Amino acid sequence: MGNIQKQATHLESTISICLLAFLFLIAAGLFIKQFDTDMSRFGLGQVAAAKSETAFDLSSQAPVGFQTLSQTQNYNAENLYEKINGKAPLYTESGFWNLSTQRFINKTDQNLWMEVYLYDMANIKNAFSVFSVQRRAEADTASLFPLSFGYRTGNGLYFAHGQYYVEIVGSVESDELNKAVEEVARNMLSKLAVDGSHEIPELNLFPRDDIVAGSKKLYLRGAFGFEELTDTFAARYKIDGETITVFVSKRPDVKDAEELMAAYYDFLIENGAKDKEITSGFDNGKIVDFYGFTEIVFSNGEFVAGVHEAEEQGAALKAAVMLNDKLSEVTRK
Amino acid sequence: MSRQKDNNLSRRQLLSQIGKAGVSIAAAGAVSHLFYDREGPKPGVEAEDLITLPDFSVPHKDGQAISVVTGADRVRTVDKAIELLGGIERFVKQGETVVIKPNVAFASSPMLGATASPELIAEVVRLCLNKAGAKQVIVTDNPINDPRSCFTLSGIGKAAEQAGAKVLLPKDHLFKPTTLKGGKLIENWPIFFGPFEKADKVIGISPVKDHHRAGASMSMKNFYGLLGGRRNIFHQNINTIIAELAMMVKPSFVILDGTEVMLTNGPTGGSLSDLKRTNTLIASTDMVAADSYGCSLLDLTVSDLPYLSLAEKAEAGTTDYQSLKPIFAQVS
């Protein structure tokens, strides 16, 4: 017992006091900090402090006669909503990686300004998907985009280029501003480094005759309200004066395609569709009436395809036969 | 030998020390149990610190609850729409402080229709100040993007100030936590309370827009701007949160601008091609009714927007706008 109760040395006393003081400071810090709630963090975990950045330098893209109006802003999936609010899920559910934005303003006319949105969507399919589902119906197809998908409207330019989706939005409708917007687009197209191919092979599955220009779309998931219908390409055709939407989705194998076709058919029936008889053109397909619209779904090899919401059954069948024949060119190989 | 003897404990000493240690551990455990908070930490707000947004509504008048005016000129349509509800003097009394809450969500050109019309806001400011004799008009919002850029690039800041209003940008100290009685989502949540604390009347002004998540953004969704914090989490329950906003905010009246609606790619838009001219402006003391009419401008019905029925169920307004006997007019 004697050495247990021995007198503490001066050094030991000093260390003990320091440790106690340190513990007291921690306790005091915790006590004070508990009253300092950061309201901005309500409801969520720690926000990514560092915003992701793309390697591309947007701030140096000012066209002639323009200067930067603001600093380049970068957003990741966690804070994208700070920029585009309710439209953020469209991107984050499509493989979004990051967004960089930059504004440029005319040096002499303050009413002329533009904002560039550079979305890195990680791959070309994701980029094409967000491009295609937002495509303005009456937009011009620009000759500016030999390797990309793009169009212009009265005040802006929009294109998908490799894994990037780009919007350049002008503040007003003006020839001078539109020229500047085009200059930025040209610069970006020449400088944006693209990973992999510019090709999306599935886009060539659609027959060329009677297709409505610029109507091809890609739904990454949940096409036509059916969650399992993923990676679904759609296009519109003009047949017998009717606009018909056809779709095709490539599956891993034939069995998977047949099962998905059956599941989509069941989905339609469960939601009120009624069977119709198929008159021709399919070995493995279904045609139903869905509240006055004709829906067709069939499989061909590893493809699930069909017609969506056609007003005229005759035109719908023609479109389905045409698409089936085109798919057979691939599946027979 | 004696040193070794000193180090040996007797059984009595050992039991005594084990007993003391046990008591110490039990005491520490009991204290911990006493102070253990099974519900975890709250956001640092006691119930008595929670605020409640005042009720800014005015007494109901039969046949003067909703007006729908068609015409291309916003100044003329809004003048007429308010006149049909009984005039601005019905809502704003001399010497009162009025808060106008426009949709200034984005740093976007006014031409693109993503934000409220500057000329419309300016006209309502003038009506409040010059016709009703308001003491002060505050124009404010808590935008998604940087507030200064939003008010500048949308043209709203300049238009409001030129008309005589004070533009108030959000600052941290202007947010206070609230809990909505009967709500599921708004619980201990910070709202942009400062501007409304001393206000007598509140007017909401919003454009009619497509909204990727909600289906449509109109009068009710406009008050999403009052929410602070990381409000994007509410996008997972978008219909519920919009209905709760209608329960939480009781404006004096709202103006729903459908002069040019954003038909596609909302709520940001970005192209003139997203817009469609419908030349319709709605003023109403019932924002559920205003939105129920307004959705038709987007080719939608009440059943397409579940938040309308949720708000009606919560008695925040009616989707049956016809029951309010809307007054229709046209101005050239």
Average pLDDT over residues B262-291: 96
Question: Looking at the complex, does the CB of residue A255 fall below 8 Å from at least one CB of chain B?
Answer: no
For residue B32, what pLDDT band results from cuts at 50, 70 and 90? confident
Predicted local distance difference test score (pLDDT) of residue B11: 79
Q: B142: nearest CA in chain A?
A: A82
CA-to-CA distance for B115 and B101, rounded, in angstroms? 11
* Nearest chain A CA: its distance from B273 CA (Å): 6
Q: What is the overall mean pLDDT for chain A?
A: 86
Helices marked H in chain A: 10-33, 81-84, 88-92, 124-134, 175-191, 254-270, 313-331
Task: Please list every residue in chain B whose beta carbon sits closer than 8 Å to the beta carbon of residue A139.
Answer: 271, 273
Please state the φ and ψ torsions of residue B151, each to the nearest 5 degrees.
-70, -30
The answer on pLDDT for B43 being more than 60 is: no
Predicted local distance difference test score (pLDDT) of residue A32: 73
Predicted local distance difference test score (pLDDT) of residue B46: 60
pLDDT above 70: percentage of residues in chain B: 94
Mutate to test the interface with B, among A30, A34, A42, A177 (most CBs of B within 10 A): A42
Predicted local distance difference test score (pLDDT) of residue A190: 87
Number of CB pairs, chain A paired with chain B, less than 8 A apart: 119
The answer on pLDDT for A261 being more than 60 is: yes
- Across the interface, whether the CB atoms of A87 and B111 are under 8 A apart is answered no
Predicted local distance difference test score (pLDDT) of residue B259: 98
Q: What is the pLDDT of residues A100-140, one digit of tens each?
A: 999 999 999 999 999 999 999 999 999 999 999 999 877 77
CA-to-CA distance for A50 and A47, rounded, in angstroms? 9
Task: Please list every residue in chain B whose beta carbon sits closer than 8 Å to the beta carbon of residue A70.
Answer: 149
- DSSP secondary structure code for residue B297 in this structure: G
Question: Looking at the complex, does the CB of residue A77 fall below 8 Å from at least one CB of chain B?
Answer: no
Burial of A181 (0-12, 13-18, 19+ CB in 10 A): buried
A79 vs B43 pLDDT, higher one: A79
This prediction has a pTM of 0.79
Q: What is the overall mean pLDDT for chain B?
A: 92
Q: What is the pLDDT of residues A151-182, one digit of tens each?
A: 999 999 999 999 999 999 999 999 999 999 99
The answer on pLDDT for A213 being more than 80 is: yes
Predicted local distance difference test score (pLDDT) of residue B44: 53
- Across the interface, whether the CB atoms of B212 and A35 are under 8 A apart is answered no
Question: Looking at the complex, does the CB of residue A49 fall below 8 Å from at least one CB of chain B?
Answer: no
CA-to-CA distance for A198 and A164, rounded, in angstroms? 11
Task: Please list every residue in chain B whose beta carbon sits closer than 8 Å to the beta carbon of residue A113.
Answer: 109, 153
Q: What is the pLDDT of residues B96-152, one digit of tens each?
A: 999 999 999 999 999 999 999 999 999 999 999 999 999 999 999 999 778 999 999
* Nearest chain A CA: its distance from B111 CA (Å): 7
Q: A85: nearest CA in chain B?
A: B144
Predicted local distance difference test score (pLDDT) of residue A34: 62
Task: Please list every residue in chain B whose beta carbon sits closer than 8 Å to the beta carbon of residue A170.
Answer: 109
- Across the interface, whether the CB atoms of A86 and B3 are under 8 A apart is answered no
A42, A84, A173: residue with CB nearest B189: A42
Closest CA to A249 of A298, A196, A197: A298
Predicted local distance difference test score (pLDDT) of residue A134: 93
Q: A133: nearest CA in chain B?
A: B265
Predicted local distance difference test score (pLDDT) of residue A48: 38
| CA–CA distances in Å: residue A104 to residues A58, A117, A119, B84 | 10, 12, 17, 44
Average pLDDT over residues B84-88: 98
Task: Please list every residue in chain B whose beta carbon sits closer than 8 Å to the beta carbon of residue A158.
Answer: 270-271
A40, A154, A158: residue with CB nearest B272: A154
Q: What is the pLDDT of residues A298-317, one digit of tens each?
A: 999 999 999 999 999 899 99
Task: Please list every residue in chain A whose beta carbon sits closer than 8 Å to the beta carbon of residue B3.
Answer: 2
Question: Looking at the complex, does the CB of residue A5 fall below 8 Å from at least one CB of chain B?
Answer: no
Average pLDDT over residues A16-24: 90
For residue B45, what pLDDT band results from cuts at 50, 70 and 90? low
Predicted local distance difference test score (pLDDT) of residue B120: 98
- Across the interface, whether the CB atoms of A88 and B235 are under 8 A apart is answered yes
The answer on pLDDT for B331 being more than 60 is: yes
Average pLDDT over residues A30-51: 49
Closest CA to A240 of A320, A324, A316, A325: A316
For residue B38, what pLDDT band results from cuts at 50, 70 and 90? low
SS3 B1: coil
**Around Cβ B15, how many Cβ atoms within 10 Å?**
11
- Across the interface, whether the CB atoms of B213 and A158 are under 8 A apart is answered no
- Across the interface, whether the CB atoms of B230 and A40 are under 8 A apart is answered yes
- ipTM tops 0.85: no
Token pair, residue B13, equals 């000493």
CA-to-CA distance for B249 and B55, rounded, in angstroms? 7
Predicted local distance difference test score (pLDDT) of residue B47: 62
CA-to-CA distance for B158 and B115, rounded, in angstroms? 14
Closest CA to B134 of B184, B177, B100: B100
Lowest mean pLDDT among A26-40, B15-29, B102-116, B273-287: A26-40
A86 vs A281 pLDDT, higher one: A86
B44, B149, B267: residue with CB nearest A86: B267
**Around Cβ A54, how many Cβ atoms within 10 Å?**
17
For residue B91, what pLDDT band results from cuts at 50, 70 and 90? very high
B188, B230, B264: residue with CB nearest A41: B230
